[in-house]
Structure 1
């Protein structure tokens, strides 16, 4: 009867500890509290029967912490390996399951690895480490404790430290998961979402007049001289206009990064290339101001009737990409890169005046508009490579002038039909050669699960160390036509709401207990 009562009390204590194991997610804290409980039970026994050894007083001893650790490991092993423990208690070998290759044995109710290192001169714990299951709260706490103790070491170093005392089944996977789920390690090297590459907008894949659909971006600053002989210098910028359908480029020198300067460049562009129906750009402050000024100007025109009604009704529609999302405007970002490639090699360290800069920009523009839109063929019988210049003037901009056929008699209607046929041929080649080259995806090939509202994440910020990036919560998602979320609205700790692309969002790794 006494043995049964003693066993019942022990089981009740273990059940109580097991019941509270999720409260303490720190391994050392759990061991210290468990050691205090064990000392408390020992004091109760001693008060009832003084024949028991008198418990320790004062700070906890190393032996008491070790005793608590062994009890927790015993409970864990009994939960994970009941059949193997029963077989070993009955003097039977483990012949099935994941432990059969480890030659396990029982040592004071602890399941240890038998292994093949008995004759080595390493420590006993290293020769015969304690076996732990892969999926258990105690295993997770031990891994987190060692990960922090060894200054957030990586998976390989963490596994090496663990195996000094424990042998965890599939321990390498647990080490990787521990490092992946560590918030401090994640904040130091956050990984953002990479949704699958989306469909091209209709402006990129629909034939239209050159610059009817225009993207715009700024390049610079460049240092220019104020006059021919004056040594005073100032900053200048380049407005890069690119046709979304034909990739034709138009460059304009801009005196300042302001709305007024950009409006002047926009008027020069529209006077030469025609008024576009849509202008695409990022959320630069000068572009936002230009849109507001255009809207205000159109309202004045509606009330004052200063320009024809048709121009007011067919005003330019401005389309903004999401903030901090340059990859949404890859075509004009590539145009800026191409411009810089030529400008740096031609201008070098020379400081140009505004007239020289305008001349150089026109020459670079002609060069860029003479580039082939598709890969060149090695067959000499093939047609001339298709370039943006074909859609602007009918030939590459840098081609030598053709012979004069003005003296040849020709019917005007036939001549117009010939011009139309040539134009249609260009667009046919555009569909057959260039459009098909846009079919394949270069990156972001694998689809990922859409982010959900309420997800806690880290917001990537430019020119800020990762550990100082803001914590945000996703409050709204903006899926595209294909159902994939590439833009979200987040709220910061201060209550500020921001619209950002998902590539700037790094969802925090949430463990099972969270």
Structure 2
């Protein structure tokens, strides 16, 4: 103790007791750099990211609202040190946890109550929960109904609440779902939320989902280019019609793809030979066909196969006849042949009005079909004006026979000059018809599609429409998509349990929206978290799984964490 009292630590060196002028002078003070470097503190940038994640976002991966509430209840039970008081969550604990969860959600989304009060009349109840005042306060109603709880529609937990309510109500529609939620909650944007949940529900989509749809396709070149009548022809069958002798017959419809003219032929069966005979009669009367468009009927397929077996090079060398090209529409796509299906409907409506329940003979029915053909070919293709000074409307008959003439020339005297003038006049008339056809008819064929649709993609899971009830439609996987000349996908090759088949987009019903940004973002977050959990929680996994680096979990103090025996 005496040594400590005599130490210089109390008084310092002796010259400090003298005047300042007598202190020793020193121009250089030696500094120990090693000692300074040891004492120097280095600034280290630890973290620049601020965790702004809300509490509700931490509960994103719980799929049910009731499970989220139970998790909150277990947290507060642990906080009160009553973990093993009872083995289940009581009703009081569940209600308390739900109130706490609602207050947390409201605190995250409704920070500024001044702006909120301008839109809704808000007040706090005894549990400090924001409620909406309604005009039912004087009624003998439940508190939740007269003053519903205010909730944001864009919150994750609120979405889980509506999803669970939708399942509890047996996948009811959006209107009934909104009505049930209104009994307790006032959810902003509730209509959009309910429609979105019903739309994305897999079970509801399987029963009520809509098929893919595409914009209107541009008309093919065969329907708009200037060709001769019936050079591009669509063919289909109508019937059967019953004759007086109890036999059946069918009508073969030939329609021009460009000028919309029609020609009818009768056949006594649906065989390939009967159709070939009708095709021969048509070519003999109307001229040669370059391209034929048909559906996938067996008789049309048989005719196409027979024509494929013909050596057309030999036929061309002998008769200078070109091969007929056949183009079939995809299976189960009757609307692709709508330009001949519509004319079949016109014919059927005319026969219903003319015949009724009468049954005619073969000759009588053939005569009636010729009359119907003349009437249909005389229908106007353009606007019919009431002004007498306007030109007569364009009809398919004008492109088949030209203008009708009542003049009868003297057959005993034929002047070559008059024939040449008449021929030039007819050529000029046909050219004028084509110019009017382009300006008055083709100019009116505008697109009427404005809505954006879901595009088919490879790998989508779909329902494939069949003739059975929707409950028994098979599931399919899109293996390949077929893109048209305009860049729009309208066909897809689908793999089902029975094999692969080609189907149009209107026969495919998507079960999942693959281009949904919300779902994609949620899936990416889940995948990243799964990767992190695999690399951090499983140090004993092989290097091919964990990326080759051995990961060891440590505490904040730096000590290694030893996993319990049940995880080893």
With structure 2 as the length reference, what TM-score do the two structures score? 0.73
What is the DSSP-based 3-state SS (H/G/I as helix, E as strand, rest coil) of the residue aligned with 2:443? coil
* Match for residue 415 of structure 1 among 405, 413, 419: 419
Root-mean-square deviation (CA, aligned residues, Å) is 3.2
Q: Does 1:445 align with 2:432?
A: no
> Contact 1:192 / 1:507 at 8 angstroms: preserved in 2?
yes
Tell me if 1:363 matches 2:371.
yes
Q: 1:402 to 1:77 in 2, by over 3 A?
A: same
In the aligned structure 2, how far is the partner of 1:75 from the partner of 1:493? 48
The within-5 A match list for 1:433-472 is: 433=437, 435-441=439-445, 444-446=448-450, 448-449=452-453, 451-454=455-458, 456=460, 458-459=462-463, 461=465, 463-472=467-476
Shift of 1:382: 4.1
Shift in CA distance, 281/163, structure 1 to aligned 2, threshold 3 Å: same
Q: Quote the Cα distance in structure 2 between the aligned partners of 1:500 and 1:293.
A: 26
Q: Shift of the alpha carbon at 1:489?
A: 1.0
Q: Matched residues in 2 for 1:198 and 1:406: separation? A: 53
1:203: how far off? 1.7
Paired residues of 2:106 and 2:151 also in contact (CA < 8 A): yes
Secondary structure of residue in 2 paired with 1:45: coil
Alpha-carbon offset, residue 499 of structure 1 = 2.8
- Checking the alignment, whether the CA contact within 8 Å between 2:333 and 2:504 is kept in structure 1 is yes
1:72 maps to which residue? 101
Per the alignment, residue 157 of structure 1 pairs with: 176
Q: Which residue of 2 aligns with 1:55?
A: 85
> How many matched pairs?
465
Is the 8 Å Cα contact of residues 195 and 447 (structure 1) preserved in structure 2? no
CA distance in 1, matches of 2:103, 2:156: 14
Q: 1:460 to 1:371 in 2, by over 3 A?
A: farther
Give the structure with higher Rg (CA): 2
Q: Would the aligned equivalents of 2:465 and 2:473 in 1 still touch at CA under 8 Å?
A: yes
What's the CA shift for 1:278? 0.5
| Alignment of 1:325 onto 2:330 | no
1:192 equivalent in structure 2? 211
Q: 2-side partners of 1:142 and 1:365: how far apart?
A: 64
Worse-superposed segment, 434-443 or 493-502: 434-443
SS in 1 for 2:247: strand
Displacement after TM superposition at 1:420 (Å): 4.1
Taking the aligned partners of 1:134 and 1:356, their CA distance within structure 2 comes to 70
Cα shift readout 1:121-169 (whole Å, capped 9, x = no counterpart):
2111123322211112211111122223233333332222112111111
1:419 shift after superposition: 2.8
**Structure 2 counterparts to residues 68-467 of structure 1, below 5 A:** 68-81=97-110, 83-84=111-112, 94-97=113-116, 101-105=120-124, 107-115=126-134, 117-225=136-244, 231=245, 233-296=246-309, 298-299=310-311, 305=314, 307-309=315-317, 314-395=322-403, 402-407=406-411, 409=413, 411-412=415-416, 414-433=418-437, 435-441=439-445, 444-446=448-450, 448-449=452-453, 451-454=455-458, 456=460, 458-459=462-463, 461=465, 463-467=467-471
Give yes or no for contact 2:236–2:340 (8 Å, CA) kept in 1.
yes
The 1-side partners of 2:389 and 2:119 are apart by: 72
User: 1:456 touches 1:471 (CA, 8 Å); kept in 2?
Assistant: no
CA deviation vs aligned residue, 1:8-28 (integer Å, no higher than 9, x gap): xxxxxx999964x34332333
Change (3 A) 1:395 1:176: same
1:8 maps to which residue?
none
Q: Residue 493 of structure 1: which of 492, 496, 515 is its match? A: 496
- For the residue of structure 2 that corresponds to 1:426, the secondary structure is helix
CA shift for structure 1 position 214: 0.5
1:221/1:78 CA distance change after superposition, 3 Å: same
CA distance in 1, matches of 2:393, 2:445: 23
Q: String of CA shifts for 1:70-95, please: whole Å, max 9, x gaps.
A: 343344334333x24xxxxxxxxx21
- The 3 A distance-change label for structure 1 pair 381 and 109 is closer
Match in the other structure for 2:17: none
CA distance in 1, matches of 2:277, 2:383: 37
Deviation, structure 1 residue 190: 2.8
* 1:460-506: CA deviation from partner (whole Å, max 9, x where unpaired): 63644344434333333333333233x22132432633333333333
**Distance in 1 between the 2:259 and 2:495 partners?**
41
